Chain A
Amino acid sequence: MSNIQVDAGRLNPKATSKRHRTQAGGRASLALVSLLFLTPALLFYGVFELWPIIQTIWYSLYEWNGIDASTFVGLQNYVTVFTDPDLYGSILHSFILILFFSVIPIALGLVIAALIKEIKSKTASTFAQVCLFLPRVIPGAAAAVAWTWMLADKGTVNQMLRAIGLGDLAHVWLGDQSTALAAVGVIGFWLQLGFCIVLLLSGMGSIDQSLYEAASLDGAGWWRQLFSITIPGLRGQIGVCLTMTIVAALASFDVVYMSTQGGPGRSTMVPGVAVYRLAFTEQSVGLASALAVALMILVLLVVGPLQRLVNGKRG
């Protein structure tokens, strides 16, 4: 296409200069059109996301009860976040939740996906996909309600324990300080497992089958193949799973708020619930904002390097 235009230009110098002029004008108007296309998105995003981010950082430097005049306190709120055991404890809790939301579902998901990838039946796989996706489709808050009943004193988990003669282990799982955080973790595990399996399975399809044949000719067993072929071949998918599940673990307000509200005591307090409580029931907007900023930085610190893992694989 451009060749023809160049030729036409050479034949007719007048046309060339005219085109130059319209191109310069065209560039300016193209910039204008581009901005017009982008305006609605920029407006909504700016007002309801960028501005609140700036506001959070701003609030975090003040002591403010949300009503009266605020006092500038510099970085004092951040000092409090990292020295008050209740507050930095909530961050530590969310690290433990990462184990349940992320590490265990992905590790187990890899083994399960590797085991079921040979199943060829189409109906079985459609049915399985629907079931495995269900936890992801319902609101996290509803998942918490479902599991509050599962883990209750008379709930299904205890019922099953009693049925297999382990009744002594029965617990009010979410109501006991020593088990509550792990019980919340189980909810997260349930939320993430199915999705990780399906995502990992979808990646396994594109691994070169001849690698497996060569490996079994060399006498490599199932586990050996998993570690030396499957897992390296799934680096991108594992990166995606890690990003999603870790973000879910750090931003777990729905699940925690609806199952334990951070209790009993503060045994399941996570940053999201702590921010909510500080801002809306304890009227410490500044401190809430400092914790919120800490959470935001934590998420960005985790996601950044993981994104490189994902993109590295794609490039």
Chain B
Amino acid sequence: MKQSVSVRTAGNVVLALTIIFSVLPFLSMLSAALQPQGSMPEGIQFTAHPQWSNFVDAWNMADITPLLWSSTLLVIVVVPLVVLFSALGGYAFAQLKVPFGRLLYMLFIVGLTIPFETLVTPLYYEISGMGLLNTRLALMLPLIGLNLPFGIVWMRSCFEQMPRDLIEAASIDGAGHVRTFRSIQLPLALPAVSSLGILTFLATWNQFLLAVVLVNDPNKRTMAGALQAFVGQYQTDTVLLNAGALLIMAPTMLLFIILQRYFIRAMLAGSVKG
């Protein structure tokens, strides 16, 4: 009994320390971002007069408005297409009969863990050959392709758990494959679809390497990619740099906090299946 009390105390202390460790860098940035512009902040310090207006200046200097638009546009195109193509492909692997199915599926499995670092050089020349360098399509098209291996594996395992009688019943009804897919299977797969949407959103919004390599204009990049240009420009201005970086992180953090239940469920399940 005595031991269990001491374990519980240790648990509370350790939990508190871990939480502090996780949020400390954010607090540290916030503290620096609220100091007067041009000052040299030091660590985390209390400010009697927090300069919230720094965020307005950083918003303008980091050009957040076009960035938000650019990232949003990217997500609006990439996420639905990845989800749709993955659902179609996963359905084919799980419930239909794909010729050479095992081989094709293995091809997708291989792509699951290939680091983007390996692909970025040939992608650069491929996109450049297509004449798409520095356009929005330069990011959209590869991101659709690169998110598919995970999507296919994810949706296949979801459709595989669906009861077989459902399709049999549907095919006796005379419902075509497309109709079975659209009106019976897809609605049942909705939780998996929404999780895939969240994971694809994160992977797209946070994409850095491809954005830096394929798009020169920071305003056509992802928000993460734009961070590189912003940091390069304001390296010496600790106050504005931190304010701008916080703004760039803010959209995902806000969305995560609002939809935390779904994010956490998706990320946990995603790691286990991926």
A binding-site residues for B, Cβ under 8 Å: 1, 27, 30-31, 33-35, 37-38, 40-42, 44-53, 55-56, 59, 66, 112, 115-119, 124, 126-143, 145-147, 149-150, 152, 154-156, 158-160, 190, 193-195, 197-199, 202, 221-222, 236-237, 240, 243-244, 247, 250-251, 253-254, 257-258, 271-272, 275-276, 279-280, 285, 288-289, 292-293, 295-296, 299-300, 303
Contact = CB atoms under 8 A, between A and B. Distances in A.
Given A134-B253, A149-B28, A59 B122 contact: yes
A53 B142 CA distance: 13
Contacts of B122: 51-53, 55-56, 59, 289
Given A118-B8, A119-B11, A140-B208, A155 B28 contact: yes
Nearest to A236: B272
Interface in B210-228: 212-213, 222-225, 227-228
B118 A285 contact: no
Contacts of A279: 120-121, 124
A275 B104 contact: no
A197 B271 CA distance: 13
A112 B146 contact: no
Contacts, number: 311
A123 to B, nearest CB: 13
A116 B28 CA distance: 26
Contact of B25 (A190, A272, A292, A296): A190
Contacts of A149: 25, 28-29, 32, 238, 241-242
Contacts of B260: 126, 129-130, 133
Contacts of A257: 208-209, 212, 228
B115 A272 contact: yes
B121 A299 contact: no
B76 interface: no
Interface of B: 3-4, 7-8, 10-12, 14-15, 18-19, 21-26, 28-29, 32, 40-44, 84-86, 88-89, 91-93, 96-99, 101, 104, 107-108, 110-111, 113-126, 141-142, 144-146, 148-149, 151-152, 165, 168-169, 172, 177, 181, 202, 205-209, 212-213, 222-225, 227-228, 231, 238, 241-242, 245, 248-249, 252-253, 256-257, 260, 263-264, 267-268, 271-272, 274
Interface centre among A41, A53, A293 (most CB of B within 10 A): A41
B227 A115 contact: no
A249 B206 CA distance: 17
A56 B28 contact: no
A269 B110 CA distance: 26
Contacts of B12: 116, 119
Contact of A44 (B117, B141, B206): B141
Contacts of A128: 15, 18-19
A121 to B, nearest CB: 10
Contacts of B42: 154, 159
B263 A292 contact: no
A33 B96 CA distance: 8
Contact of A131 (B22, B165, B213, B224): B22
B126 A55 contact: yes
A119 B18 CA distance: 14
A59 B124 CA distance: 13
B254 to A, nearest CB: 10
Nearest to A135: B22
B19 A131 contact: yes
B173 to A, nearest CB: 12
A139 B223 contact: yes
Nearest to A1: B168
B217 to A, nearest CB: 16
Contact of B145 (A44, A59, A147, A250): A44
Contacts of B119: 49, 52-53, 56, 292
B22 A194 contact: yes
Given A53-B118, A149-B242, A292-B118, A48 B142 contact: yes
A30 B249 CA distance: 47
A138 B206 contact: yes
B3 A221 contact: yes
Contact of A142 (B7, B245, B264): B245
A296 B245 contact: no
Nearest to A40: B85
B64 to A, nearest CB: 14
A205 B126 CA distance: 48
Contacts of A272: 115, 117, 209
A1 B168 CA distance: 9
A289 B32 CA distance: 41
Contacts of A33: 96, 177
B11 A115 contact: yes
A119 B15 contact: yes
27 contacts: A1-B172, A33-B177, A37-B91, A37-B177, A38-B93, A40-B85, A44-B85, A45-B108, A53-B119, A112-B14, A118-B11, A134-B23, A139-B222, A141-B206, A141-B227, A143-B25, A150-B25, A154-B42, A159-B42, A194-B22, A237-B272, A243-B113, A257-B209, A271-B117, A272-B209, A295-B117, A299-B115
